[in-house]
Structure 1
Amino acid sequence: MKEKIAKLIDVKSIMTLSLTGGFIALTCSGEIGGDQFLTIFTIIVGFYFGTQSMKK
């Protein structure tokens, strides 16, 4: 269990979560549109899961 928590506290994980939170906040405040959010979020999540699968 401790190993899984340690893996979550990774720089890429923190960056992914903070960027996701930031883009959600920008979308809710109306700064960016939903289509822009979807594009950016897809790139971020794709990069994150792509690098995670490369580790295995």
Structure 2
Amino acid sequence: MSKEWKEILGNLLTVKSIVTVVLTVVFAFLAVQGRIDGGQFLNIFSIVIAFYFGTQHQKITEKTTEKGENE
């Protein structure tokens, strides 16, 4: 397995990523069962995804800034 794939897999196994995936699956399951309606699912899912991608963007920005300062 290449180094890039190992890094990608390692990033997917972080606690934040696992929580995001589990929450997505649980709320999708509840929506399919009819325990929550589509609007509730959309609100919850939007918050979780926004948090996940917001923190990912912040990590990338920090790495880019650190790399620029070190050069």
Pair in the same fold by TM > 0.5: yes
TM-score normalised to the size of structure 2? Answer: 0.77
Say if 2:54 is the partner of 1:50: yes
Paired with 1:36 and 1:17, the residues of 2 have a C-alpha distance of 17
Higher-Rg member (1/2):
2
1 or 2 for the larger relative contact order (CA 8 Å, sep ≥6)?
1
Q: Identical aligned pairs, as a percentage?
A: 50
Q: Which runs of 4+ in 1 moved over 4 A?
A: none
TM-score normalised to the size of structure 1? Answer: 0.97
How many residues end up aligned between the 2 structures?
Answer: 56
5+ residue gaps, structure 1: none
Alignment deviations for residues 1-56 of structure 1 (CA, whole Å, 9 cap, x no partner): 11110011010000000000000000011100000000000000000000000001
5+ residue gaps, structure 2: 61-71
Which one-letter code corresponds to 1:33 in the other structure? D
